[in-house]
Each structure stands twice: as structure tokens, then as C-alpha cells.
Amino acid sequence: MIVFKQTNEVLYREAIVSLYIDCFSTGVSEQYIDLAELTEYIGLVLDKGNAVLSFENELMTGAVLSLPLKYDSYLPEIISRDFIVNNCIYIAELMVTQQKRGKGTGEKLLSEFIKNVDRNFYTGIFIRVWDQNFPALRLYQKMGFVPVATIRQTKKHADGNGTFDMNKIYLYKAV
């Protein structure tokens, strides 16, 4: 049974950092992760936004990290021009443990997040995803998100030597 917890409590920071490393240090999106920068980033998200965490048998199986869209440092100009940024929330990360991928955990997490968005304040949700992450793209589109912009992000190779580019798609959903 999946249990959800919506929180911004710092006590979950280490578990979220571990989940992030699990999700982005292996596989096709493998990249270099600076632990100090990551810990600071997760702290910012918990300070300015919140997390919806999923647990099974008391083990964290996934997380949706969100904060107001204005905190997205990569935000394309077209979004700033076409949307009221102050009334949009940004899903900074949607992460699921490798063991739970493809089993509906991401969809349940995203549904839980959408269900709890403050509709008195937020009018839209944004998420950014690598254009080669086909399972995530299918999920977001199934959940009603539509592409609105793209950017190119430069990442370091996992060994810290050299860089590579990732084309990212911003998707939007009205709430």
C-alpha cells in the first residue's frame, strides 16, 4: 500500500538526496552530481516549496518536488511572456526508485500532487523533462500536460570529465 506525505520538513532532505542520486547517477540520464550543490538545491526546494513523498512499507519510493515557477533559473522567456509566472507552480523533480518504475508509482505521485495544488493561488503547473525520457513524456501527456517550450541544458558526464547537452521540454497543465 502506498502512503503519501506532503511536507517541506528538512528531516527528509537526506532521503530525497539519496533518491535523486539513485535516479540520475545511472542509466541513460547518468550525469555528474555534486553532493554539496544537490543538498543545497534540495534545501531550497524544501524551503520555498514542498514535496509529496510516497512510501511503501515505510520506505520512500518516490517524490514530487515543487516550488513556485519563479524559482526556475532556466525558465524560457516565452513562458515568462505567455503565462503569469507568479501564479504557476513548477515540478522541479519527479523521482521514482528504480525498483518501482513502470509500476504506476509516478502516476500516483503526480495525481496526488495535482489533487493538492492550491487552486486559490495557482492557475497552472509546469514540468521540465529530457526529450529522450519517453516514459516520463508519455506519463505527463497522459496526465494532460502539453509542450510549450524547449531549452538546452549542459550537464557534466558522470565521471566529471567533459559535458553533454540535454534538450528539455517544458510541459504545462492548467489547474
Per-residue pLDDT averaged across 138-145, rounded?
A: 97
Identify whether the C-beta of residue 72 lies closer than 8 Å to the C-beta of residue 92.
yes
Residue 171: predicted pLDDT:
98
- In tens, the pLDDT along 79-123 reads 999 999 999 999 999 999 999 999 999 999 999 999 999 999 999
- Once rounded to an integer, what is the mean pLDDT over residues 35-61? 96
CB count within 10 Å of CB 107 equals 14
> Over the stretch 4-28, which tens digit does the pLDDT of each residue have?
999 999 999 999 999 999 999 888 7
Question: Three cell numbers at 82?
Answer: 505567455
Overall number of domains in the chain: 1
Distance CA 142, CA 145 (A): 7
Supply the pTM of this predicted model.
Answer: 0.95
123: DSSP letter: -
Residue 86 confidence (pLDDT): 96
Domain span at 39: 2-174
Closest CA to 110 of 123, 86, 93, 132: 93
Q: What is the pLDDT of residue 170?
A: 98
Burial 51-67 (b: 16+ CB within 10 A, else e): bbbbeeeeebbbbbbbb
Return the biggest CA–CA distance within the chain.
46
pLDDT bucket at 29, cuts 50 / 70 / 90: confident
141: CATH = 3.40.630.30
pLDDT at 51: 97
Q: Residue 128's closest CA among 148, 98, 156?
A: 148
pLDDT at 28: 77
Beta strands across the sheet bearing 88-96 = 2-7, 50-56, 59-68, 88-96, 124-130, 163-174, 146-156
- pLDDT on residue 124: 98
